[in-house]
Amino acid sequence: MQEERRLAVLRAIVQDYVETREPVGSKTLVERHRLGVSPATIRNDMAALEEEGLITQPHTSAGRVPTDAGYRLFVDRLTAIKPMSAGERRAIATFLDGAVDLDDVVQRSVRLLAQLTHQVAIVQYPTLSGSTVRHVELVAIAPSRLLVVLILSTGRVEQRLVEVPADQPAPSEDELADLRRQMLGLVSGARIADAVASLRGLPETISPAQQEVAGQLVEALVEAMSDHRSEGRVAVGGTANLARFGDSFDSSLKPLLEALEEHVVLLKLLGEAGASPAVTVRIGAEGPLQELSSTSVVASGYGPGSDALAALGIVGPTRMDYPGTIAAVRAVARYVSAILNET
């Protein structure tokens, strides 16, 4: 009974604090929320909540502020994710549907997320490892210059140039076509990880004269498949929203800006969110970086199919609108996944 009201008080504190950015006192609380009791009662509840470590007061004569644990409880139990309005859904859909290719999808998603949440948005490019091979093409650009093209199920196209060494015979059109057929047979439709394994064995089955060249081609293809750069690539947007950070400027802005430059760090921030299509919330010091202990991360996996391919999300102050943010992240993740499924 009182327990219920206490949680209601916590919810009210979180909501008010997020909105006003100021420690919230017992009096203003009863004024703004219909709690049906007097300030004195609220004070008792607050004392209890503080005892439990859910709220704290910056200084003696100030109101209360949620702790990380307070936000945690709020997120886990006190909030129903408010669904996006029809208008918002439509806006998301039309905005993302205009994308022409994978890169465009990612870039639009970042903008969209930043705009919806008013936070810094991060979108990881879909990793190759989870996707499958749609097509492989070999092209002789010049007698001794071969272009290897790899097309993946995500729509990504990778290409590599291969130079045939001067002391090697350049493969003929027919030989090339044959090689291509063999490659396709091995990898078409296969997942990247499997494709790499199959390819490794290919050169041995080829006529010795062409083994050298085939080896090089396979090498290029494997490299394209395990391309580290696109594997770890992320897009960042909405950094201008940092200007609203306000107070915690000096203390947390610099490490955050530094983190945003380092894609590796960002991937660490998104963390295991990429593993599942559910929204993950990391509050304050729960995150992997102690420098960012006053920021939270709301992230979700996305990708075609039910197991996520990559992650997207936002970074913001612990004092953020969690329900709205979670809803936005979830919505964008779903729409992007849907789009990736179509193509």
Partner DNA sequence: CCTGGCACTCGTGTCCCCTGAGTGCCAAGC
Partner DNA sequence: GCTTGGCACTCAGGGGACACGAGTGCCAGG
Q: Give the footprint of DNA on this chain (CB under 7 A).
A: 1-2, 5, 23-28, 36-41, 43-44, 46-47, 50, 57, 59-64
Residues 25-64 that bind its own copies (CB under 8 A): none
State in angstroms the smallest separation of the CB of 224 from its own copies: 12
Residue 192 contact partner, candidates DNA, its own copies, none, CB within 5 to 8 A by sort of partner: none
Residue 243 contact partner, candidates DNA, its own copies, none, CB within 5 to 8 A by sort of partner: its own copies
Residue entry with tokens 């090089």 = 216
Longest dimension (CA), the chain: 92
The whole-angstrom separation of Cα 234 and Cα 81 is 27
Q: Is 74 helix (H, G, I), strand (E, B) or coil?
A: helix
Q: Which of 50/178 has CB closer to DNA?
A: 50
Residue 268, interface with its own copies (CB under 8 A)? no
The whole-angstrom separation of Cα 160 and Cα 167 is 21
Q: In 10 A of CB 210, how many CB atoms?
A: 19
Contact present, 296 and 71 (Cβ < 8 Å): yes
Q: Which residues pair with 313 in a beta bridge?
A: 122, 299
Q: Which of 91/157 has CB closer to its own copies?
A: 157
Residue 264, interface with its own copies (CB under 8 A)? no
Cα end-to-end span (Å), the chain? 53
Burial label for 158, CB within 10 Å (0-12, 13-18, 19+), is middle
Residue 286, interface with its own copies (CB under 8 A)? no
Residue 258 contact partner, candidates DNA, its own copies, none, CB within 5 to 8 A by sort of partner: its own copies
Residue 157 contact partner, candidates DNA, its own copies, none, CB within 5 to 8 A by sort of partner: its own copies
Q: Which of 30/136 has CB closer to its own copies?
A: 136
Distances (CA, A) of 53 to 2, 64, 65, 68: 17, 11, 11, 9
Residue 251 contact partner, candidates its own copies, DNA, none, CB within 5 to 8 A by sort of partner: none
Residue 254, interface with its own copies (CB under 8 A)? yes
State in angstroms the smallest separation of the CB of 321 from DNA: 21
Q: Which stretch binds its own copies (CB under 8 A): 91-99, 123-131, 196-204, 238-246?
A: 238-246
Sheet order of strands, 145-152 included: 133-142, 145-152, 157-163
Q: Is 139 helix (H, G, I), strand (E, B) or coil?
A: strand
Contact present, 158 and 150 (Cβ < 8 Å): yes
Give the DSSP per-residue string, 216-271. HHHHHHHHHHT-HHHHS-EEEE-GGGGGGGGGGHHHHHHHHHHHHH-HHHHHHHHG
Residue 249, interface with its own copies (CB under 8 A)? yes
State in angstroms the smallest separation of the CB of 101 from its own copies: 9
Contacts of 100 (CB under 8 A, 6+ apart): none
Burial label for 174, CB within 10 Å (0-12, 13-18, 19+), is exposed
Q: Which of 47/209 has CB closer to DNA?
A: 47
Residue 174, interface with its own copies (CB under 8 A)? no
Q: Which of 157, 197, 265, 289 binds its own copies (CB under 8 A)?
A: 157
Residue 151 contact partner, candidates DNA, its own copies, none, CB within 5 to 8 A by sort of partner: its own copies
Q: Which of 9/78 has CB closer to DNA?
A: 9
Q: Which of 64/233 has CB closer to DNA?
A: 64
Note the residues at the interface with its own copies (CB under 8 A): 103-104, 135, 137, 139, 141-142, 147, 149, 151, 157, 159, 229, 237-240, 242-243, 249-250, 253-254, 257-258, 260-261
